Structure 1
Amino acid sequence: MSSVKDWTASVIKQAEIDKYLDGGKDFIDEEQIFADIEKHKNPDKQQVRDILQKSLDIKILTPAETATLLNVEDPELLHEMQEAALEVKKKVYDNRIVFFAPLYLSNLCVNSCKYCGFRAENKDEVRHVLTMDEVRDEVAAVIDEGHKRMIAVYGEHPKNGADYIAESISTIYSVKRTTPTGNGFNNIRRVNVNAAPMEIADMKKLWRAGIGTFQVFQETYHRGRYAELHPANTVKGNYRWRLYAMHRAMEAGVDDVAIGALFGLYDWKFDVMGLVHHAWDLEKHFGIGPHTVSFPRMQPAPGSFLSEHSPYIVSDEAMKRVVSVLRLAIPYSGLIVTARENPVLKRDLINHYGCTQTDASSKLGIGAYAKKLKQEENPDKVQFMLGDQRSLDEVICELANDGMITSFCTAGYRCGRTGDKIMNLLEKGVEGKFCKLNAVLTFREYLNDYASPETREIGEKLIARELQEIENMPFFTDKKLLPTFRSYYDRIARGERDLYM
């Protein structure tokens, strides 16, 4: 294309929106959402308990059932919801917490989102797209922390389009680092992607490059508010192009997709309902819902007045409600809480409300990992400010002390347990059993190769309890999994790496 303007005009393919519409309408019926929220106020206790039981059976809730839970105010029922959310999490995912690192590869963007530091009008932002050599340097620094999973993040711009993303995915996978103890090598085993919505042909390029989960956040599902925040003359200003990004990804072969909303842009109850409607429409078209659901809360962004003065700022207590309702409404999906949140709230959401994934040692600046820069040292290259800048080891140590076992497992993806296969296994509580074994194997790697003395001491006690629990679970005996697991565990303890069930 001759210019960024020409490229921008060519991005949206209307036919790839229209094919998913039902009678010309999309799946967000605002009148119905508001009506459901209003209709189900002051819910009956037994009705709420019946809904909780449905969640415990690992069945996705209807929008009406979700609205009922959103309207619960009774302290006793709120406590029962929290307990049920945690029980659902343990039933599907056990006591695992999966870690990843975000890698921002570019802050070039053609869009004008009013809450974002990357928006095109922000003249204070120093723009840069990582070269492949710089990508290798960044990935090496991330691996040296002990990470094995990554979410690669890109702005929307022709210089970081599908071809660049595909090349960078391959580059990330190519980096291998000798472990500090000299026991083999460590590498990134799963590259998920957070990028702009794409046409089906471009999504196929990412699939061929080995993309893990594809993640696009709708930001807010409310059309009017969406239009206020995303000018109509930008690519992102097209609400439906973004709304059906996951549908196009699924059609292209990417069978693990992730949805989310940026809480603080609009009323949190409405956007929870939007996420549930999104999950239902994916189920309707493809038979499976989102692999993960995210609920980032808006944080201060350089040069953005709105990011600190939105009329919809979400309190800590409301965030706990968001997480508990999402865990109950879409029980099979992973829930991601990020380093946007402060350490106290993040720990609470993991331990008591059912979150299953988080990041640590995160740096949002372009090129910040290799240069070991904190966000205060490069605020001109970050999208927003973080609430938790602790190292991976510090967060692992804290959660291990809470009885949560760290997992870097990527086995399911490499064994073909993705898409509809993994959803079926999650609903039946089977995938969590394999994940428990692989969590122990990857935690053993981390303790051997990267853990501080304090983390190793706490981790050894935790892993001993996990091993005892595994030995006593009939599932592993019945499926004849224990001999292989024991062999892999011993081999990893002796220095082998990347063995999985």
Structure 2
Amino acid sequence: MSFSVRFSQLNLDDLSMKLYASTAADVERALQHPSGNLNSLLALLSPAAQPYIEQMAQAAAQLTRQRFGANLGLYLPLYLSNLCANECDYCGFSMSNKIKRKTLNDAEILAEVEIIKSRGFDSILLVSGEHETKVGIEYFAHVLPLIKQHFSYVAMEVQPLKADEYQRLVALGLDAVMVYQETYRAQTYAKHHTRGKKQDFTHRLDTPDRVAKAGVDKIGLGVLLGLDDWRLDALLMGYHLDYLERHYWRTRYSISLPRLRPCTGGIEPKVLLTDTGLVQMICAFRLFNQQLDISLSTRETPELRDNLLPLGVTQLSAGSSTQPGGYQQPDSQLDQFEISDERSVDDVIVAMKTRGFNPVFKDWEKAWGVNNVNG
């Protein structure tokens, strides 16, 4: 059993019709029993829920404080390479884009690590383009121990790997894997992924199954909001999350809700997600899952990020660079996408504390060891 089997049983057109046929009565019922209820998530993501966003926001803020207190986890991405063997029309790393290509060596990695540590971070996300021959498992197995000795929590956002390769990285200290489906609409997926292994929709869909079976502590899901109807993509991500939690209950989960941002050779959103829509989505997922980590990147503006903090967000980046070597030598020609929040880490921390939140640089929760394997 894998999620692709469950996914094949879903009627996406029927789910879309239900989304847009939801009524105020459906939303009010959903607000009574939102936790773990996919029908409630559908109603809360629907257009009918828009008049209830203030009520949803108040409930989401209360639930978040009950579960996470006033703590907000801080992390920073470390881009290892922008080499990529895929053609994805929304990404600056896409193989046809005429940009400088770079893969960090040991000395360059340590130079980036030194800067990141000087800013106080103890949680890091390793990111690379998807190029398995030049930046594959052997490269990751080499650099992970080098980096892990400096950080308590190391996550990766790279190309999908095999289950035994994930197990190998877990043994070397890997704590989390972020693997974003981009869109759950296969036809739209095919339109935007025209070359390389990322063309395989089903293989990517089943990657979280392989990650969970390898005993990774946390799995991150995400969709690139704007490629297709964000309401339906978010709902299908909810189905994916529900499946994973039922089958791999020892693993923790997070979601990321990135909106399509400008990049080299980039595209315009098919469906525009407004700020209000983003608020609705964050609140809907918090009401659906009280334990879920919700991550907010520097793709959003400073003002919006600050206003979203009370509504369900638990993890955010600050002072990010989206290019390999970008902390030591900034160079916009290597960026994966443009960021909107360019504030320093100190400025973000001041904004957090002003709103009554505690910045947390270290993830203390380590409930399951490297020998944990989901069954």
TM-score computed with the length of structure 2 as normaliser: 0.93
- For residue 24 of structure 2, give the secondary structure of its aligned residue in structure 1: coil
> 2:228 and 2:252 mapped to 1: Cα distance?
22
Q: How is 1:293-442 mapped onto 2 (pairs within 5 angstroms)?
A: 293-304=255-266, 306=267, 309-351=268-310, 353-371=311-329, 373=330, 378-413=331-366, 416=368
Q: 1:42 to 1:24 in 2, by over 3 A?
A: closer
**2:15 equivalent among 25, 28, 33:** 33
In the other structure, the counterpart of 2:191 is 228
More strand by share: 2
- For residue 328 of structure 2, give the secondary structure of its aligned residue in structure 1: helix
Q: Contact 1:72/1:78 (CA < 8 Å) preserved in 2?
A: no
- For residue 411 of structure 1, give the secondary structure of its aligned residue in structure 2: coil
**1:266 equivalent among 224, 228, 250:** 228
Count of matched residue pairs:
372
Deviations 1:166-212 (A, max 9, x none): 222211123xxxxxxxxxxxx42111111111111211121111111
Displacement, 1:329?
Answer: 2.0
Q: How is 1:27-426 mapped onto 2 (pairs within 5 angstroms)?
A: 29-39=11-21, 41-44=22-25, 47-55=26-34, 59-62=35-38, 64-71=39-46, 73=48, 77-123=52-98, 125-157=99-131, 158-174=133-149, 187-231=150-194, 233-287=195-249, 291-304=253-266, 306=267, 309-351=268-310, 353-371=311-329, 373=330, 378-413=331-366, 416=368
- Structure number with higher relative contact order (C-alpha < 8 Å, ≥ 6 residues apart): 2
> 1:51 and 1:105 mapped to 2: Cα distance?
43
Displacement, 1:71?
Answer: 2.3
> 2:365 and 2:205 mapped to 1: Cα distance?
28
Q: 1:88 to 1:24 in 2, by over 3 A?
A: closer
Displacement, 1:337?
Answer: 0.5
Structure 2: 5+ residue runs without aligned partners? none
> 1:24 and 1:50 mapped to 2: Cα distance?
26
Instruction: Give the AA of the match of 1:412.
Output: E
Q: 1:94 to 1:224 in 2, by over 3 A?
A: same
Instruction: Give the AA of the match of 2:16.
Output: F
Displacement, 1:399?
Answer: 0.7
Q: Contact 1:162/1:205 (CA < 8 Å) preserved in 2?
A: no
Displacement, 1:31?
Answer: 2.8
> 2:6 and 2:65 mapped to 1: Cα distance?
41
Q: 1:28 to 1:95 in 2, by over 3 A?
A: farther
Displacement, 1:311?
Answer: 2.4
Q: Contact 1:43/1:72 (CA < 8 Å) preserved in 2?
A: no
More helix by share: 1
> 2:107 and 2:81 mapped to 1: Cα distance?
14
Q: 1:33 to 1:133 in 2, by over 3 A?
A: same
Instruction: Name the % identity.
Output: 27
Q: 1:241 to 1:167 in 2, by over 3 A?
A: same
Displacement, 1:224?
Answer: 1.0
Displacement, 1:380?
Answer: 1.4
Structure 1: 5+ residue runs without aligned partners? 1-18, 175-186, 422-501
Deviations 1:123-145 (A, max 9, x none): 2x100110011111111111111
> 2:359 and 2:182 mapped to 1: Cα distance?
29
Q: 1:75 to 1:35 in 2, by over 3 A?
A: closer
Instruction: Give the AA of the match of 1:37.
Output: L
> 2:249 and 2:184 mapped to 1: Cα distance?
22
Displacement, 1:369?
Answer: 0.9
- For residue 368 of structure 1, give the secondary structure of its aligned residue in structure 2: coil
Q: 1:286 to 1:384 in 2, by over 3 A?
A: same
Q: Contact 2:27/2:49 (CA < 8 Å) preserved in 1?
A: no
Q: Contact 2:4/2:202 (CA < 8 Å) preserved in 1?
A: no
> 2:134 and 2:269 mapped to 1: Cα distance?
32
> 2:196 and 2:154 mapped to 1: Cα distance?
28
Displacement, 1:284?
Answer: 3.3
Displacement, 1:388?
Answer: 0.8
Q: 1:418 to 1:326 in 2, by over 3 A?
A: farther
> 1:91 and 1:137 mapped to 2: Cα distance?
39
Q: Contact 1:412/1:418 (CA < 8 Å) preserved in 2?
A: no
Q: 1:409 to 1:54 in 2, by over 3 A?
A: farther
Q: Contact 1:43/1:71 (CA < 8 Å) preserved in 2?
A: no
Question: Which stretch has the larger CA shift, 210-219 or 277-286?
Answer: 277-286
Displacement, 1:248?
Answer: 0.4
Q: 1:191 to 1:224 in 2, by over 3 A?
A: same
Instruction: Give the AA of the match of 1:42.
Output: T
- For residue 336 of structure 1, give the secondary structure of its aligned residue in structure 2: strand
When Rg is computed on C-alpha atoms for both structures, the one with the higher figure is 1
- For residue 241 of structure 1, give the secondary structure of its aligned residue in structure 2: helix
Q: Contact 1:220/1:265 (CA < 8 Å) preserved in 2?
A: yes
